[in-house]
Structure 1
Amino acid sequence: MADIYAAQLSPSKVEVVTEWVTGQDWAADFDLAAAPLEPVTSYRFDDPAGDVGLEVHILRSGDRHIQVPLTYRGTPLDGADEHLISTMDHSVLGKRWVYAGMGDPLFRQRLDDTIATAGTAARQFRVDDEGRRIDEITEVAHAFGTGPLAGARDVEMLHQLNLDSSAEGSEGGLLLGRWDGQETSVVLAVMV
């Protein structure tokens, strides 16, 4: 389960994501000045220790949809300087170090585990400043694994999403997702 505070963030998540996306080769043809990134939804994975936020943002620029996985840590991740995107001030939790999700071993482990066990993204709850759960957040993406893929050794997150391609009845080795307004499953990650 993921606990979500009603916190002020500086810079905002969209600002952090936009800055990172502008430096990615796969987004070189995006014109974010003409079609700025707009949040669509998100999903999270559980950190069993409850220390690290593991969140994937799904956004759109015009008619194109992308996803960006991030991790939020209370202290720097040793040996991961090249994956550090930003730091942000969280009004409840304090300073957070924001990493590209695929560069964070915990994110990769939780992604692999979700796919291989046919698990699901974490349930999310709004909490007050003292950390007491208020209610469940249901307006998020439902991401789920399809089970292991024999011989696969790695997993690849898809940055650009194809919303028109149905993945219903797909074989193992996938992370699929649906959200309000997207009733067919979209491929989010693939075991390779």
Structure 2
Amino acid sequence: MADIHTAELNPGKLEIITEWVAEQDWAAGLDLDAAPLEKVSAYRFDDPAGKVGLEVHIVRSGDRTLQVPLSYREAPLEGAEEHLITTMEHSILGTRWVYAGMGDPLFRQRLDHAIATAETSAKQYRVDAEGNKLEEITEVAHAFGTGPLPGAGDVDLLHELTLDSPLEATEAGLLLGRWEGQPHSVVLAVMV
């Protein structure tokens, strides 16, 4: 379960994502001036300790749909300096250190756990400044694992998504997802 505050963020998430994506080799060929990134949806994983935000943004530039995993921490993550994207100011939680998700061990562990245990992405709830739950947020992506793949050693989160290949939970070792306007499940990550 993820608690989502109605807060002001500086810089905003889409701004952070745009700057980071522009520097990535896998995003070569994107013309973000001609086709700026647009938010499509997002999903989250649970942090059992409730301290770290683990969020994957699904964004679009022209006809390309991308996934951008981020983790939000209340303090710097020791040994992960190369994965630090920026810091942001959260009007309720204060300074947050924003990391590329795949460089954050907790993010990788929760992604692997979701696939291996056929778990779903976290339910998200709007909360007030005191942390009281107001309502469930339902206009988010729904991601779900398909179970372990024997012999797999790692998980690869796909940066670019293929939206036109219907696939249901017929194979092990996958994270699949669906969101409003996406009529069938899409492969989000694979065990390799």
State the Cα distance separating 1:169 from its structure 2 match.
Answer: 4.1
CA contact (8 A) 2:52 2:71 kept: yes
- Regions of 4+ moved over 6 Å: none
**Equivalents in 2 of 1:96, 1:168: separation in Å?**
36
Superposition map of 1:1-192 within 5 A: 1-192=1-192
Count of residue correspondences: 192
State the Cα RMSD in Å. Answer: 0.5
Normalised to the residue count of structure 2, the TM-score between the two structures is 0.99
- Structure-1-length-normalised TM-score: 0.99
What SS class does the counterpart of residue 115 from structure 1 fall into?
helix
Give the SS at the match of 2:95: strand
Report the Cα offset of residue 170 of structure 1: 2.8
Farther-moved stretch of structure 1 (36-45 vs 165-174):
165-174
Structure 2 unaligned segments of length 5 or more: list them: none
Residue by residue over 1:56-113, the C-alpha shift from the partner in whole angstroms, topping out at 9 and shown as x without a partner, is 0000001110000000000000000000001000000000000000000000000000
Kept in 1: contact 2:146–2:169 (CA 8 A): no
Tell me the SS of whatever aligns to 1:106: helix
Structure 1: gaps spanning 5 or more residues: none
Aligned partner of 1:33: which letter?
Answer: D
Q: C-alpha distance in 1, partners of 2:81/2:104?
A: 10
Q: Distance in 2 between matches of 1:39 and 1:170?
A: 29
Distance 2:28 2:180 in 1: 29
Q: For residues 112-163 of structure 1, what are the alpha-carbon distances to aligned partners after superposition, in whole Å with 9 as ceiling and x for unaligned?
A: 0000000000000000011100000000000000000011000000000000
AA partner of residue 57 (structure 2)? H
CA–CA distance in structure 2, aligned partners of residues 86 and 170 of structure 1: 39
CA distance in 2, matches of 1:44, 1:106: 13
Q: Percent identity?
A: 72
Question: In structure 2, the residue corresponding to 1:183 is in which secondary structure?
Answer: coil
Partner Cα distance (2:75, 2:85) in 1:
14
Corresponding residue SS for 2:71? strand
- Tell me which amino acid in the other structure corresponds to 1:40: V
